[in-house]
Structure 1
Amino acid sequence: MHHGFYDPNAASTTTTDSLLSDHRSAQIRIIEEALRFAGVPENPMKRPKSIVDVGCGIGGSSRYLARKYEAQCQGITLSPVQAQMAEGLAASQGLVNKVSFQVADALNQPFPDAQFDLVWSMESGEHMPDKAKFVNELARVAAPGGTIIIVTWCHRDLSPSEESLRPDETALLKKICDAYYLPAWCSTSDYVKLLQSLSLEDIKAEDWSEHVAPFWPAVIRSALTWNGFISLLRSGWKTIKRALVMPLMIQGYRKGLIKFAIITCRKPE
């Protein structure tokens, strides 16, 4: 339930079916790229032993990270349905002793301070109505020396002469947020400033928009097939409404308004 990481040059010459069938591999690739970018150690003596997946969805990242690092991973989501599905998938993969899931608020996490070696948030930041509180909670539950990884949708950074986005940009984002039930977005630099305010170390950020953007056109092309159209009709109005907004996501990427960002840092020892 998250984006994949694609080679933008290869994606331009890849068929829709191939791109969609590669989505699972691309989803794994984005996890690996995030870990590489953050410099999470592979050494068995230094790799994370405790992980929290903040906004875990149905637990895909949790299961992958638990297997990769032989670590204990706890996932939190606001959705009881997602938590139940995540538990079932973990059981079917023999991971009940490694991963667990619960319904909890990312802005008020049910964990003590300094508990996790790796604090992971894959495409959940855009759902947080209070970005400062969100980042504070990520930092609070991170253990000394622990790594924080945030992969999220952002809007473009403002120039030094700007105080806000242009009215047309604000209107475009509002349409997207209304369809996806999202609060206001922030920029990548806003996240960096929040992390700096908490005296976190090794803060890095990068724009991955070109690596995720190819999937949106592929999804739209698949929806324009007869099978895709029937599936949309069966899925209900909410899904149709979100599908109708996908061209606006493409427009936002092309205009440079929407950014798919990774922001990482480390909590001081």
Structure 2
Amino acid sequence: MIVPDISQSAEAVAEHYDELDPIYRRVWGEHVHHGLWATGRETAGAAVEALVDTVGDRLGLTPGQACVDIGCGYGATARRLAVLHGVRVTGFTLSEEQARYAAGQPVPDVEIRVRDWLDNGLAGATADAAWAIESSEHMVDKPRFFAEAHRVLSPGGRFVICAWLAETNAGGLKVRHLLEPICREGRLPSMGTRGDYEAMATAAGFTVTGYEDVSRRVARTWTICALRLVKALLVDREARRLALSAGNRGAVLGIPRMILAYRCGALRYGIFTLQKA
């Protein structure tokens, strides 16, 4: 497990997304996660939706199911899966700004709560399916993240996780110059490997039914974000102020580090499919 040299907290994560909300929506759009390319000819928007649809397919969603979106961001994934599959979704975010935006995009059967997943308040065995797209990285206590998902899911419930992962047995240079700074700049309390995630999932009581490394299919996301960020910095004074402030400079300008981490294999992107027995 990669741990940054400056400890991170849920409060720090919330503050990060609240403060950088204008930049995140401009650079990432309402889906704050990678796109998934199949042919390489898809638009960025289509690739982002393809990742969401992949999650929905692996969950095997059916109409009427109760679902949980752990780290729902602006609620775009919850809205899309609710509309496409006829499910009910409760989303959790730490960010007041993200929840405020989501409230302005209402969809039936989608509820967004500002609450830490590690203290979610849900009753046990009440959800049929759950997903976490690039949010497990922000969890202060990752074993508890898995344990809470297992507690909330009904027997047979599926859990899909899309996660940034550290290369297994990454060398010292990759850890020191790429992975540890990515954790620090991105407000990640830790970053696990595939093995770490599967061990925590199994310890929580899940069966790992599927895993796919899609690093090559998502990596171009960061080149697109870099171009969008440059454009925002050129035309938007407020974006420049936020991006170049002392507290945010590393997070916003660390995009080249992400590109390099993918290219050298230090950073991986995995999709896990888990099931509660």
Which TM-score tier does this pair reach, normalised by the shorter chain? 0.7 to 0.9
Q: In structure 2, what is the equivalent of residue 161 of structure 1?
A: none
Instruction: Provide Cα deviations, 1:72-95, integer angstroms capped at 9, x if missing partner.
Output: 1111111122112112211xxxx2
Task: Indicate conservation of the 8 Å contact 1:62/1:99, yes or no.
Answer: yes
Instruction: Provide Cα deviations, 1:29-70, integer angstroms capped at 9, x if missing partner.
Output: 00112233x2515xxxx5561011110111011111111221
Task: Indicate conservation of the 8 Å contact 1:195/1:203, yes or no.
Answer: no
Whole-angstrom CA distance in 1 between matches of 2:189 and 2:72? 18
Runs of 4+ in 1 over 3 A off after TM superposition: 221-225, 238-241
- SS of corresponding position for 1:265: strand
> Number of matched residues?
241
Whole-angstrom CA distance in 2 between matches of 1:39 and 1:65? 11
Q: Which amino acid is 2:171 matched to?
A: R
Rg comparison, structure with higher value: 1
- Deviation, structure 1 residue 261: 0.9
Structure 1 gap ranges (5+):
12-18, 159-164
- SS of corresponding position for 2:210: strand
Q: Which amino acid is 1:60 matched to?
A: A
2:100 corresponds to 1:84: yes
Whole-angstrom CA distance in 2 between matches of 1:152 and 1:247? 19
Whole-angstrom CA distance in 2 between matches of 1:32 and 1:223? 26
Whole-angstrom CA distance in 2 between matches of 1:229 and 1:54? 34
Choose from 103, 106, 122 the match for 2:133.
122
Pairs within 5 Å for 1:61-72: 61-72=77-88
- Deviation, structure 1 residue 235: 4.1
- SS of corresponding position for 1:117: strand
Structure 1 residues 224, 57: CA separation in 2 closer, same or farther (over 3 Å shift)?
Answer: closer
Structure having greater relative contact order (Cα 8 Å, sep ≥ 6): 2
Q: Between 49-58 and 64-73, report the one with greater CA deviation.
A: 64-73
Whole-angstrom CA distance in 2 between matches of 1:130 and 1:153? 16
Q: TM-score, normalised by structure 2?
A: 0.80
Choose from 39, 44, 48 the match for 1:27.
48
Structure 1 residues 100, 253: CA separation in 2 closer, same or farther (over 3 Å shift)?
Answer: same
RMSD: 2.0
Q: In structure 2, what is the equivalent of residue 215 of structure 1?
A: 221
Q: Percent identity?
A: 29
Structure 2 gap ranges (5+):
1-31
Q: In structure 1, what is the equivalent of residue 22 of structure 2?
A: none
Q: TM-score, normalised by structure 1?
A: 0.82
Pairs within 5 Å for 1:169-188: 169-171=174-176, 172-188=178-194
Q: In structure 2, what is the equivalent of residue 15 of structure 1?
A: none
- SS of corresponding position for 1:110: coil
- Deviation, structure 1 residue 243: 3.1
Task: Indicate conservation of the 8 Å contact 1:192/1:205, yes or no.
Answer: no
Structure 1 residues 200, 193: CA separation in 2 closer, same or farther (over 3 Å shift)?
Answer: same
